[in-house]
Chains A and B, each alone.
Chain A
Amino acid sequence: MKLLRAILVRLATMSVTLIGAAVVVFFVIRVVPGNPIAMMLPPGASEEDVARLTAHYGLDKTIFQQFGIWLSGVFQGDFGTSISLRQPVMPLVLGRLPATLELAIFALVIAVVIGGALALTGVRHRETRTETAVDVANGVGLSIPDFLWALILIVLFGVLMPIFHISGRISPSLELPFVTQFYVFESLFRLRFDLWWDLLKHMFMPALALAIPLAAIISQLLKQSLKETMHLDYVTLSRTMGYSENHVILSEALPNAVLPTLTLIGVQFTFLIGGTVIIERLFSYEGLGNMAIDAVINRDLPLIQGIVIVFALLFTIINLVVDMTYALLNPRLRHA
């Protein structure tokens, strides 16, 4: 019952945050200098054209009227019409979201694999040069943000060793049979491994850039909690019972040490999704973030709003899932 009430409280705070975000974004964007209508029309358009188009997009009403119209639309799933692309915002945003989600999830998987492997190696060879090497790698991984890792990967693999693609989501020459935007999942589902491989070769560089800082965080925390667990009595006991060091680390220490890392991964995953904005730009990856930057450059107010709201919604959902998973995994909270 306590758990249920905690979830309800979370849901209430979530909706307050979301509405707050919507209000802030709507009003902040309206302060933007620069007229989006003027940018749409060819040079030499008459005053009448400007006035007609302004009225068409509802920009001639007061800011509060605009907010009312926009909010009532949002509750019906209508986020307005993009000014620069001249299409409804919602289908545009939803069309790009899967690309970003696939990239983020792939990056998360890479981060967990690299971070986990580093932490286990560091603990297996603790108090040796190997552990120092892991510590140094963690330090560098943490200090350098994904933007710089992306550029370094572009130089290394785009120029010196051109194995992976550094631009786009899929080779433009390929014919796409897809009906959904989840290309990676759908290509697996259709058993089109050629397409799947091409997608992965495009995704690998941006995903790795996003993954490196997170891998360092995971490795650092997991190694620390593993080392603390290794000093506990039950671990010593299983060692005296003759189990190998590998068995002790993997089967005895790891299950108890992994919980704090799981919570951290959840929080950090939202930062990773935020990072996709600039990473997609760097790799010309056709995702939501790339669209967001274009929207800002074109001063496309309805599109910016739609994207920010979708991002905020995504973040709150992830936070909720993390909280619930934590409550389910932690016996102290489960039985509370």
Chain B
Amino acid sequence: MLDGRGSINRRLGARLWLSGIWLGIMAALALFAPMVSPHDPLAQDLFAGRLPPFWMSGSDPAYVLGTDSLGRDVLSRLFHGAQIAFSVALVAGLATALVGSLLGLLAGYMRGWVDIVISRLVDIWMAFPPVLFAILLIAVLGTGLTSIIIAIIVIDWTRFCRVVRAEAMNQSAMDYVASAVVAGRPRRDILWREILPNVLPTIVALLTLEMGIAVIVEAILSFVNLSISTDAPTWGGMIAEGRTSIHQAWWVLAFPLGVLFLTVLSFSQFGEGLKDRFDPVLR
């Protein structure tokens, strides 16, 4: 039994480490993208279009991962794409967590009509298919990064709200809350000082998962050309461009796809790992 627990812990540890390292590298690249990029991500060189990556014949050592059909450097576009992806992930993730958790805390702690109104709202929200909802919102808000971030908040706050509401309800039923009530602490005080700190680990784990979702949403919207301008180096835009020339230049699609895959996988594994780490039963 002890051995089983030990191996579970090791597996969890490796998962957290590996995904954490990848996310750290990508975040650093995103932060220093203008400094580490060998080329201007927007600079076109029509004479150097569709150059293959460095290990294939006909490649140019100046373009390590090759170029797309307009002769733009794939590696530099990947780095700048990371910048856009991580900015959206961070801002959209935090804002969604804030809105959803706040409503969830109120519903779970106040109960009564507040709970009824918020829960009914969540039900109606979940009736819409997320992708369709996102496209609809972008049509309303117009394209651009701000619209994407707003769309993510508007669609995904329910994700936090449902979980945090349940968690707040659990915590409210605990003895420490009852004793705080008996001690005559004001309700607002109990909510912020007693319940919130105990719900926070759940929120952090959900936030990591949400950042992965934000990266995907940004990629999907730039793929269907509803994000920022088509020139901008987004991973989704690179994938869309690569999809059209897949038979001539597979690397234009494969590299952003690989990076996107690992990033989304890491966000999700990191979040799941945190969730298990915070889970008192597993710990």
Which A residues fall within an 8 A CB radius of B?
Answer: 17, 20-21, 24-25, 28-29, 31-34, 139-140, 142-145, 147-148, 151-152, 154-155, 158-159, 270-271, 273-275, 277-278, 281-282, 289, 292-293, 296-297, 299, 304, 307-308, 311-312, 315-316
A31, A144, A299, A315 — most chain B CB neighbours (10 Å): A144
**B136 with A29: CB separation less than 8 A:** yes
**A31 with B129: CB separation less than 8 A:** no
Question: Which A residues are in CB contact (< 8 Å) with B219?
Answer: 147
**A278 with B131: CB separation less than 8 A:** yes
Expressed in whole angstroms, the minimum distance between the Cβ of B60 and any Cβ of chain A is 22
Q: Which residue of the partner chain, among A144, A155, A312, contacts B250 with CB atoms under 8 Å?
A: A155
Q: Which residue of the partner chain, among B127, B225, B247, B269, contacts A315 with CB atoms under 8 Å?
A: B127
5 other A-B residue contacts (CB within 8 Å) besides A32-B139, A312-B128: A139-B269, A151-B239, A155-B253, A277-B129, A296-B135
Check A28/B257 contact, CB under 8 A, given A143-B269, A144-B264, A151-B239.
Answer: no
- What's the Cα separation between A307 and B246 when bound, in Å? 31
Residue interface bits B102-131, CB-to-A below 8 A is 1, else 0: 000000000000000000000110011111
Residue interface bits B220-259, CB-to-A below 8 A is 1, else 0: 1001111000000000000100010011001001100100
CB-based closest 6 A-B pairs = A274-B129, A143-B268, A277-B131, A296-B139, A296-B135, A143-B265
**A159 with B246: CB separation less than 8 A:** yes
Q: Is residue B260 within 8 Å, beta carbon to beta carbon, of the partner chain?
A: yes
**A275 with B257: CB separation less than 8 A:** no
User: Could you jot down 28 A-B contacts, CB within 8 Å?
Assistant: A17-B123, A21-B124, A28-B140, A29-B136, A34-B142, A143-B269, A144-B261, A147-B220, A147-B223, A148-B260, A151-B239, A151-B257, A152-B257, A154-B246, A154-B253, A155-B246, A155-B253, A271-B129, A274-B132, A277-B131, A277-B135, A281-B223, A282-B223, A296-B138, A299-B139, A308-B128, A311-B132, A315-B129
Question: Which A residues are in CB contact (< 8 Å) with B268?
Answer: 142-144
Question: Which A residues are in CB contact (< 8 Å) with B123?
Answer: 17
Question: Which B residues are in CB contact (< 8 Å) with A145?
Answer: 216, 264
Expressed in whole angstroms, the minimum distance between the Cβ of A6 and any Cβ of chain B is 17
**B239 with A20: CB separation less than 8 A:** no
Question: Which A residues are in CB contact (< 8 Å) with B212?
Answer: 143
Which B residues fall within an 8 A CB radius of A?
Answer: 123-124, 127-132, 135-136, 138-140, 142, 212, 216, 219-220, 223-226, 239, 243, 246-247, 250, 253-254, 257, 260-261, 264-265, 268-269, 272
**B246 with A293: CB separation less than 8 A:** no
Q: Name the residue of chain A whose CB is nearest to the CB of B225.
A: A297
- What's the Cα separation between A19 and B254 when bound, in Å? 44
Question: Which B residues are in CB contact (< 8 Å) with A311?
Answer: 128-129, 132
**B124 with A293: CB separation less than 8 A:** no
- What's the Cα separation between A307 and B136 when bound, in Å? 11
- What's the Cα separation between A24 and B226 when bound, in Å? 22
**A278 with B220: CB separation less than 8 A:** yes
- What's the Cα separation between A17 and B126 when bound, in Å? 11
- What's the Cα separation between A199 and B272 when bound, in Å? 39
- What's the Cα separation between A299 and B136 when bound, in Å? 10
**B131 with A274: CB separation less than 8 A:** yes
Check A29/B140 contact, CB under 8 A, given A145-B216, A151-B257.
Answer: yes
Q: Name the residue of chain A whose CB is nearest to the CB of B142.
A: A33
Question: Which A residues are in CB contact (< 8 Å) with B223?
Answer: 147, 278, 281-282
Expressed in whole angstroms, the minimum distance between the Cβ of A161 and any Cβ of chain B is 13
- What's the Cα separation between A281 and B247 when bound, in Å? 18
Expressed in whole angstroms, the minimum distance between the Cβ of A166 and any Cβ of chain B is 8
Question: Which A residues are in CB contact (< 8 Å) with B129?
Answer: 270-271, 273-275, 277, 311, 315
**A148 with B264: CB separation less than 8 A:** yes
Expressed in whole angstroms, the minimum distance between the Cβ of B70 and any Cβ of chain A is 21
**B250 with A159: CB separation less than 8 A:** yes
Question: Which B residues are in CB contact (< 8 Å) with A293?
Answer: 135, 224
- What's the Cα separation between A245 and B78 when bound, in Å? 51
**B136 with A296: CB separation less than 8 A:** yes
**A312 with B264: CB separation less than 8 A:** no
Question: Which B residues are in CB contact (< 8 Å) with A25?
Answer: 136
Question: Which A residues are in CB contact (< 8 Å) with B243?
Answer: 151, 154, 282
**B253 with A312: CB separation less than 8 A:** no
